[in-house]
Amino acid sequence: MEIRTLRRPALVLLALAAFAAGAWLSNELNSKPLAAVSKDFIAVTLFPKVRPLPALTMVDQDSQQFDFTGIKGQWSLLFMGFTNCGHVCPMTMADLRSVHDQLARPINVIFVSVDPGRDSPDVIRDYVQAFDPGFIGLTGTTEALEKLANSLGAPMFVDTSADNYTVDHSSTIFLLDPSGALAGTITPPFKPDQIAAELALIM
């Protein structure tokens, strides 16, 4: 998680932890079997059951409505961040580009901005296309973003009233199956070669 300011009340961190735990429990109670290779991987953590995402509508980099139902019938890698992120986000996006380029089969790479106040569709389009023209960039209302984050178990925190504009987000990459359901996670430190090798066995 990238922290833009060190002045963070302990209560906020506890709330984020409770948020993630609650999301995990909710998803566990609303899951179904995962049809994928059963294997012990190093980089990718596959869930024993996929976790369907809630029905929600986002906005893509072309200002078009977007949902996660059957994303082109392909596997997807989703990362939540923001374009003003100084280190974690660009490094993760570069790793995602490396993974994408190593796979023989197509895979969607989806960047979701948790900072809708500054990241308009135009800003997001320029950001994702700097890594690959085929990457998908999304934003949405605060409600939609929080709903998505809750379903993924990905804590996010945006405070525009602080002296220093504060944005916190999960550093996890989320693996979605071809139906758009959450199938697993990839956590740092990222090793693109290993991630690509394991995804090739899953897809």
Determine phi and psi for 161, rounding to 5 degrees. -95, -10
Contact 106, 195 (CB under 8 A): no
The token pair that represents 19 in the structure block: 């948020």
Q: What is the Cα–Cα distance from 51 to 28, expressed in whole angstroms?
A: 7
Q: At what angle do helices 192-202 and 88-102 cross, to 10 degrees?
A: 50
Asked if residue 48 lies in contact with residue 57, where contact means CB atoms within 8 angstroms, the answer is no
pTM of the model: 0.81
* Helix pair 142-152, 10-29: axis angle to 10 deg: 70
Domain ranges of the chain: 10-202
Superfamily of domain 10-202: Glutaredoxin (3.40.30.10)
Q: Identify the burial level of 168 via C-beta atoms within 10 angstroms of its C-beta, where 0-12 means exposed, 13-18 middle and 19 or more buried.
A: buried
Q: What is the DSSP letter of 89?
A: H
CA–CA gap between residue 84 and residue 58 (Å, rounded): 20
pLDDT in tens, the chain (203 residues): 443 433 444 333 344 444 444 444 444 434 444 544 556 789 999 998 999 999 989 999 999 999 888 788 999 999 999 999 888 999 999 999 999 999 999 999 999 999 999 999 999 999 999 999 999 999 999 999 999 999 999 887 877 776 778 788 889 999 999 999 999 999 999 999 999 999 999 99
